[in-house]
């Protein structure tokens, strides 16, 4: 429920809902993706952590750290699919530009007689989100800026729940479904951030490594899938001799970033009840597509 009229907005057709920490969608999808890649001839090295990257005459030399020790691999192209930290691009000296300081404080719990209801509710210092999970569980999350006092005040499930119960609609829903915090609680980065250029000679960034989305947008998985498809196309074109393929990919992703920022600003602009509160005033000026840093403070991760 966003905005003075406290309207209820449905998810857009392109929005994909996921439970970041329940991992239920990710596990199935990741397993399928890995199996498909292996069936098509990809050599899978997992679990492994990329720790060192060297540019060579014909591509890259990457050092992977496994339980059994180090492994050095050589490759012609690099695709950074390492999430928000963009580990490979970072090793090349490329850093994300952050659009804001959004953080997510969350806790898991059990609920009985769950209505299957997912809600987003704005409040003075940020916004709430709660959604059902498999096996009679539910997630409760509060999103605010990491530098605001409330981000420290709400650490832990009990404080989070106490504050949630001060929101009439949320309190009513949590009471109806009998929500009780059990299990994990935590804190994670949820801010918008993006690469100035999502590709360079011999490398591309996809998914969150290219553009990490505010969860309000529900665009993270869509972006991961779309940029993955676009990156695959760029690689195929490069292999076929198109020397502009990576530059075109970077341009495509720059347009995605502009569109994402404009849409996100429009969503936040729907909420006008607390114009003087830092969380909302920081988001009150619409971001103009194509103008890096307009409307919000930007800083480098």
Ligand X SMILES: Cc1cc2nc3c(=O)[nH]c(=O)nc-3n(C[C@H](O)[C@H](O)[C@H](O)COP(=O)(O)OP(=O)(O)OC[C@H]3O[C@@H](n4cnc5c(N)ncnc54)[C@H](O)[C@@H]3O)c2cc1C
Give the binding site for ligand X (CB under 6 A): 16-18, 20, 49-50, 81-83, 85, 87, 104, 188, 190, 207-209, 213, 215, 218-222, 224
* Bridge partners, 188 (sequence order): 104
The DSSP letter of residue 191 is -
Single out the residue of 240, 273, 286 nearest to residue 124, CA to CA.
273
Choice between 30 and 242, CB closer to ligand X: 30
Min. distance of Cβ 77 from ligand X in angstroms?
Answer: 16
Long-range CB contacts (within 8 A, 24+) of 7-10: 7/270, 9/120, 9/270
Min. distance of Cβ 243 from ligand X in angstroms?
Answer: 27
Sheet order of strands, 69-75 included: 49-56, 59-66, 69-75
Min. distance of Cβ 70 from ligand X in angstroms?
Answer: 13
Q: How far apart are CA 24 and CA 138, in angstroms?
A: 13
Ramachandran assignment for 266, one of left (phi > 0), alpha (psi -120 to 50 degrees), beta (any other): alpha
Choice between 10 and 241, CB closer to ligand X: 10
Min. distance of Cβ 51 from ligand X in angstroms?
Answer: 7
Choice between 25 and 269, CB closer to ligand X: 25
Q: Are 145 and 278 in contact (CB under 8 A)?
A: yes
Min. distance of Cβ 241 from ligand X in angstroms?
Answer: 29
User: 3-state class of 231 per DSSP?
Assistant: helix
Q: How many residues does the chain have?
A: 301
Q: How far apart are the first and last CA of the chain?
A: 31
Q: How far apart are CA 257 and CA 192, in angstroms?
A: 10
Choice between 78 and 213, CB closer to ligand X: 213
Which structure tokens are listed for 29? Answer: 């999808």
Which structure tokens are listed for 148? Answer: 């605001």
* Bridge partners, 65 (sequence order): 49, 70
Min. distance of Cβ 240 from ligand X in angstroms?
Answer: 26
Choice between 22 and 200, CB closer to ligand X: 22
Choice between 227 and 296, CB closer to ligand X: 227
Min. distance of Cβ 131 from ligand X in angstroms?
Answer: 8
């Amino acid at each position: 429920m966003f905005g003075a009229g406290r309207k209820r907005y449905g998810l857009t057709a392109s929005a994909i809902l996921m439970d970041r920490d329940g991992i239920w969608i990710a596990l199935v999808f990741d397993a399928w993706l890995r199996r498909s890649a292996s069936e098509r001839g990809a050599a899978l090295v997992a679990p492994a952590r990329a720790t060192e990257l060297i540019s060579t005459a014909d591509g890259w030399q990457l050092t992977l750290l496994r339980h059994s020790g180090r492994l050095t691999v050589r490759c012609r192209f690099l695709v950074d699919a390492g999430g928000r930290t963009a580990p490979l691009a970072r090793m090349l000296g490329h850093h994300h530009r952050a659009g804001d300081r959004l953080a997510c404080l969350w806790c898991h719990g059990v609920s009985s007689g769950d209505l299957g209801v997912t809600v987003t509710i704005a409040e003075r210092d940020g916004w709430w989100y709660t959604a059902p999970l498999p096996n009679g569980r539910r997630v409760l999350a509060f999103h605010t800026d990491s530098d605001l006092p409330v981000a420290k005040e709400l650490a832990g499930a009990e404080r989070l729940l106490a504050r949630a119960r001060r929101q009439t609609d949320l309190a009513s829903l949590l009471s109806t479904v009998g929500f009780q915090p059990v299990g994990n609680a935590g804190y994670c980065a949820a801010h918008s951030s993006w690469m100035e250029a999502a590709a360079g000679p011999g490398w591309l960034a996809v998914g969150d490594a290219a553009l990490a989305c505010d969860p309000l947008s529900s665009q993270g998985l869509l972006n991961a899938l779309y940029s993955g498809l676009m990156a695959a196309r760029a690689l195929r074109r490069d292999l076929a001799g198109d020397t502009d393929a990576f530059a075109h990919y970077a341009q495509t992703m720059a347009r995605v970033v502009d569109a994402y920022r404009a849409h996100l600003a429009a969503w936040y602009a729907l909420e006008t009840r607390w114009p003087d509160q830092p969380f909302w005033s920081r988001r009150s000026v619409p971001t103009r597509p194509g103008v890096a840093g307009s409307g919000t403070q930007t800083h480098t991760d």
